[in-house]
Structure 1
Amino acid sequence: MQTTQSTDGTELSYELYGDGRPLILLHGGMAPREYWDPVIPHFGEYTAVVPQRPGFGTCLDGPAETSPSEVLERESTYVQTLVDDVDGDPILLGHSYGALTGIEAATDATVEAVVAYEPAVLPDDFRTQANLADRMAALVEQGERREAVKRYIELVLHPEGIDDLDAWLAEWPVWPDCVDLVEEVVRMNRAVERYRLPDRLDVDAPVLVLTGTDGPDFLRKSARATHEALPHSRFVEFDGIGHSGPSEAPELISAEVDCFLRK
């Protein structure tokens, strides 16, 4: 376990796997860093840098009420801290909210490349009506913390519907421990709902934007919009893969990433 410290004094921890070019893996949503376990073996030529996002499995000091812009800025600062801590210019590989923070961090940090699988960006028509953060916050205030997490799972992880949510939760490795993170998830969702994709993202590094046909339609739409806002970007859509593409189909995803990086 390696540790470093961000500019705000927060201690960051991360694991290292392999020996090669640094590849920082940024998990999203309520996923722990173990999300990347199926992926790491497919990147044997790289040094996989696997952090635990502060607030997601760790303790965060500071006010519970944090503005959405501060939440995203905090996350981007953590990524930049990791970039500065590793040897050489790393590659950022992010999933969902991790993809968004990776792109945002790359506007300032010097990186070799960015790979973003379905960054957590909401299209304007969807964003103006999004109220998941408020719905979750209301349930938390009523003491229904588990129900708040279930709303997140239903709307983000299974927007197409799920027949037996309780059975799915019984097989989900992070349930019910993830309920402890519900306030952080509310803050994260509020940041996503307030984030507006600019016409141009000032990222000098090449970016590979990935999506899958079986994920939420709004994320497929926003993935393409993110690609169009980047000056040096490639867009790839995988048939039959959902929002959890990297862990769902690690061999396919890693092959595309490796091809992109070799070019």
Structure 2
Amino acid sequence: MQTTQSADGTEIAYERRGDGRPLVLLHGGMAPRAYWEPVVPHFEGFAAVIPQRPGFGTCLDDPAETSADDVLAREAEYVRAIVDDLDREPVLLGHSFGALTAIESATDAAVEAVVAYEPAVLPDGFRAGADLADEMATLIERGERRKAVKRYVETVLHPDGIDDLDGWLAEWPVWPDCVDLAEEVVRMNRAVERYRLPDRLDVDAPTLVLTGTAGPDFLRESARNVHGALPNSRLVEFDGVGHSGPAEAPALVAAEVRAFMQRSE
């Protein structure tokens, strides 16, 4: 692991694999760094840069003290610190909350391009009734941490329902370790519920926004909304791919990223 520091002196750790154009991989809410293991082999020719996300390990001494209002700003700051530490401008590839973080970071970080898979932005109509953070917090207060995390999985990954959630979770690589992240996910969801997409996102870098037809409808809508708010954006929708697109269909995602980068050169 390599380390650098953010502007406030927080130590930030990241792993770098391979040589070539730096590709910073930013995972979403319930996925640790291991989320990218099936993805990295498909990006031959890139140097994969995999951060240890604040609150998900070693970056913060006490992540519990970080408020929901500070979460997105904190995460964008650590991405900018990593960008500054690299030897050339990177491509940012983010999934879900990581995609929103990538976009926010690119507003004032020098990056070559941004790839955002279903950014965690709630459409206005959906956000008005969003209460996942409160639901999870209530369950955690009752000591039902696993149930809280299951509620997140049901809402974000399987919004149309699933016949055997426990069976699916048993095959999910990050279960049950992700239960330890429950409080962090509550803070993340509060940040998402409070975030309002501006009419225009101040991102100069070319941006590829990705979505899939098998994921939640509200996230497909948000992907289109984010695409519309970006000045230099391309939108691609994958047929039959869900919200976990980068890990679910890494070859497909990598091929689209490569094609996008060739068009942008």
TM range (shorter): over 0.9
Q: Which moved more, 1:122-131 or 1:58-67?
A: 58-67
Matched, 1:48 2:48: yes
Q: Secondary structure at the match of 1:44?
A: coil
Question: Residues 59 and 2 (structure 1 numbering): CA distance in 2 closer, same or farther, change over 3 Å?
Answer: closer
Where structure 1 has 5 or more consecutive residues not aligned to the other structure, the ranges are none
Q: 2-side partners of 1:67 and 1:55: how far apart?
A: 12
Matched, 1:247 2:247: yes
Q: 1-side partners of 2:28 and 2:160: how far apart?
A: 20
Partner of 1:107: 107
CA deviations 1:209-247 (Å, max 9, x no partner) are: 000000000000000000000000000001010001111
Partner of 1:141: 141
| RMSD across aligned positions (CA) | 1.2
Q: 2-side partners of 1:229 and 1:67: how far apart?
A: 27
Task: State the one-letter code of the partner of 2:163.
Answer: D
CA deviations 1:149-172 (Å, max 9, x no partner) are: 111011011112111111112112
Alpha-carbon contact 1:135-1:148 (below 8 Å) kept: yes
State the 1:11 CA deviation: 1.8
Question: Residues 63 and 94 (structure 1 numbering): CA distance in 2 closer, same or farther, change over 3 Å?
Answer: closer
Q: 2-side partners of 1:32 and 1:109: how far apart?
A: 24
State the 1:62 CA deviation: 4.2
Matched, 1:188 2:195: no
Q: Secondary structure at the match of 1:28?
A: coil
Q: 1-side partners of 2:174 and 2:9: how far apart?
A: 28
Alpha-carbon contact 2:54-2:63 (below 8 Å) kept: no
Map 1:211-230; keep pairs closer than 5 Å. Answer: 211-230=211-230
Where structure 2 has 5 or more consecutive residues not aligned to the other structure, the ranges are none
Alpha-carbon contact 2:10-2:59 (below 8 Å) kept: no
Partner of 1:87: 87
Q: Give TM-score, length-normalised by structure 1.
A: 0.97
Alpha-carbon contact 2:203-2:231 (below 8 Å) kept: yes
Task: State the one-letter code of the partner of 1:94.
Answer: G
Q: Which moved more, 1:32-41 or 1:233-242?
A: 32-41
Q: Secondary structure at the match of 2:79?
A: helix
**Percent pairwise identity:** 76
Alpha-carbon contact 1:207-1:234 (below 8 Å) kept: yes
Question: Residues 69 and 226 (structure 1 numbering): CA distance in 2 closer, same or farther, change over 3 Å?
Answer: same
Alpha-carbon contact 1:157-1:243 (below 8 Å) kept: yes
Alpha-carbon contact 1:68-1:188 (below 8 Å) kept: yes
Alpha-carbon contact 2:32-2:174 (below 8 Å) kept: yes
State the 1:57 CA deviation: 3.2
State the 1:61 CA deviation: 2.8
State the 1:115 CA deviation: 0.3
Q: 2-side partners of 1:239 and 1:144: how far apart?
A: 36
Q: Secondary structure at the match of 1:64?
A: helix
Q: Secondary structure at the match of 1:35?
A: helix
Q: Give TM-score, length-normalised by structure 2.
A: 0.96
Partner of 1:237: 237
Partner of 1:204: 204
